[in-house]
Structure 1
Amino acid sequence: MGCPVAGVLHGPDRPTRYHSRIDTRSRAAVLGRPRPTDLPALAITQFPLKLAARRMIAPTVAHLSFTRDDGQPLDFIPGQFIQIHFEYADGTATKRSYSLATIHDHAMGPGEAVDVAVSYVPGGAATALFEGMEIGDTVQATGPFGRFCLMPQDTNRRYLLIGTGTGVTPYRAMLPLLEKAIAERGVEVVLLMGARTPAELLYGDDFRAFADAHPNFRFVPCFSRELPADPHPDVRHGYVQQFLGEFAPGEGDIAYLCGNPDMVDAAFEALKGVGLPVPLIRREKYVSSK
């Protein structure tokens, strides 16, 4: 996490996370701007989100854009998530958590949209909710929450970002802060991103464009099943954890792990095995249930 927190679970249809909200002083420090006065209430008070846009970015993943429908801003630190509140068919209250994927380099104002990536799961309650929504419909939400963030006190030489599936959404939101870190302190960044096929690679165009524009950022897609027809030289065939040796962290490097629990566990053990201290491994697991 932004500060290491173990045992964090989150899923594409039923994400559940067991970490606390980053406090507002840290929010201001991370983004280098005044602290929004309404942020403390966001963690405990539900607010309406209106669906502004929807598009499929993979066969079973939707990119959804929402705006707050109460005239207030929804600001967040890249790496944080929101919770969507709704009811099962029997009226039982439930909620799901979704990492915010919005690329932004400023304090979000009223009416500005935030983005999430939602994996559609057959028979999933949240899947039914989102598939049934029309543009302009609203849902209730809380947040932002979470500490899976870049920290302003970081002095590392390199970030090693590892993600699978919708676990790459926090990294998309982090791009402006990574750009700032590259410019201000010459940090290097390697993003190892896992997918089964090219069609399931989320936000690949965004990451490739960022890598092309920033020599210190290396984007390494890892495909476990099918390779692209004309693969980039940085494309790999296999699982992300298979290539940790190629990009083994050095002293003081910081690693982020996000996505499939098996991948997170395997990568965590591998990174410990090569001597990376546990406090420098920030992780978040995504698990799915109906």
Structure 2
Amino acid sequence: MPVQFPLRLVGRHMLAPTVGHYQFLRDDGQPLDFQPGQFIQIHFSYADGTVTKRSYSLATIHDHALGPGEAVDIAVSFVPGGAATALFEGLDIGGQLQASGPYGRFCLNPGDRNGRYLLIATGTGVTPYRSMLPLLATAMAERGAEVVLLQGARSPSELLYSADFEAFAQQHPNFRYVPCLSRELPAEPHPDVRHGYVQQFLAEFSPDPATDIAYLCGNPDMVDACVEALKGMGLGNPQLRREKYVSST
């Protein structure tokens, strides 16, 4: 049984029409430190008393060891009629939730010596990459690594944390930000905006098993399609690191 701890809500705003950004403090005087790419689980009960939980990747831009009193961020998708949605929508500033973690191994490996990272995401699957930005900056500065982030969404309003990624790309020439929009393009798209799904544009970046490690996070169908495409280009399991986000009610 995982050890649970209280989280207190200290801030929130909408990232997209159906996605909220929530900021929490661990409310027992302990730090909630984590490795970029990890997630926490929120524990709660259905109306009939059945105990359940949901997993949320930590979106905090993580550039130091977090101490007591430092907040962490998650992105929450709202599903109409969903129990978790009702939980978060009904949570006021100062309200508490029970959590456990952090968990997961969807992290950058300090032993990696690859020349390039291909980061692929849809929906809230992009949150781990936001937390990884300081580590990616270090990899680019210390060993000349290149990074390509392909972020899939239906419209510009659903590109979560796009301002963070755009600013990071402007500051780091080795970081390329490629929004892939399936339905609606921005009024003035920059040259790296693509019209379609992320899996349609993988070949454009010539994935190479000799130089590349691919991270995939988001919709299970997208993750499966991209993994199959990348395997067809020669990448094997050592170069493929994946997380699937299942929308649950």
Q: TM-score range by the shorter chain?
A: over 0.9
**Alignment map for 1:1-290 (pairs within 5 Å):** 44-250=2-208, 251-290=210-249
What whole-Å deviation, never above 9, does each CA across 1:228-248 have from its counterpart, x for those lacking one? Answer: 001011000000000001012
Q: Tell me, which stretches of 5 or more residues in structure 1 are unaligned?
A: 1-42
Mapped to 1, the partners of 2:111 and 2:2 lie a distance apart of 28
Q: Report the secondary structure of 2:180's partner residue.
A: strand
Number of the residue aligned with 1:38: none
Deviation at 1:252, TM superposition (A): 3.0
Deviation at 1:189, TM superposition (A): 0.2
The number of equivalent residue pairs is 248
Mapped to 2, the partners of 1:284 and 1:45 lie a distance apart of 23
Mapped to 2, the partners of 1:220 and 1:248 lie a distance apart of 15
Letter in 2 for 1:265: D
- Normalised to the residue count of structure 1, the TM-score between the two structures is 0.85
What whole-Å deviation, never above 9, does each CA across 1:225-269 have from its counterpart, x for those lacking one? Answer: 000001011000000000001012121310001001111011000
What whole-Å deviation, never above 9, does each CA across 1:110-153 have from its counterpart, x for those lacking one? Answer: 01000000000001100000000100000000000000000011
Q: Report the secondary structure of 2:43's partner residue.
A: strand
What whole-Å deviation, never above 9, does each CA across 1:141-184 have from its counterpart, x for those lacking one? Answer: 00000000000110000000000000000000000000000010
Q: Tell me, which stretches of 5 or more residues in structure 2 are unaligned?
A: none
Q: Report the secondary structure of 1:175's partner residue.
A: helix
Mapped to 2, the partners of 1:270 and 1:218 lie a distance apart of 21
More strand by share: 2
Deviation at 1:278, TM superposition (A): 1.7
Q: Report the secondary structure of 2:205's partner residue.
A: coil
Letter in 2 for 1:262: D
Q: Report the secondary structure of 1:116's partner residue.
A: strand
Mapped to 2, the partners of 1:266 and 1:130 lie a distance apart of 31
What whole-Å deviation, never above 9, does each CA across 1:49-108 have from its counterpart, x for those lacking one? Answer: 000101000000000000000010000000000000011111111111000000021000
Mapped to 1, the partners of 2:4 and 2:218 lie a distance apart of 27
Mapped to 1, the partners of 2:2 and 2:92 lie a distance apart of 27
Which runs of structure 1 show a deviation greater than 3 angstroms over 4 or more consecutive aligned residues?
none
Q: Report the secondary structure of 1:246's partner residue.
A: helix
Letter in 2 for 1:65: Q
Larger RCO (CA under 8 A, 6+ residues apart): 1
The two structures, once aligned, show a CA RMSD in angstroms of 0.8
What whole-Å deviation, never above 9, does each CA across 1:9-46 have from its counterpart, x for those lacking one? Answer: xxxxxxxxxxxxxxxxxxxxxxxxxxxxxxxxxx9210
Letter in 1 for 2:145: V
Q: Report the secondary structure of 2:30's partner residue.
A: coil
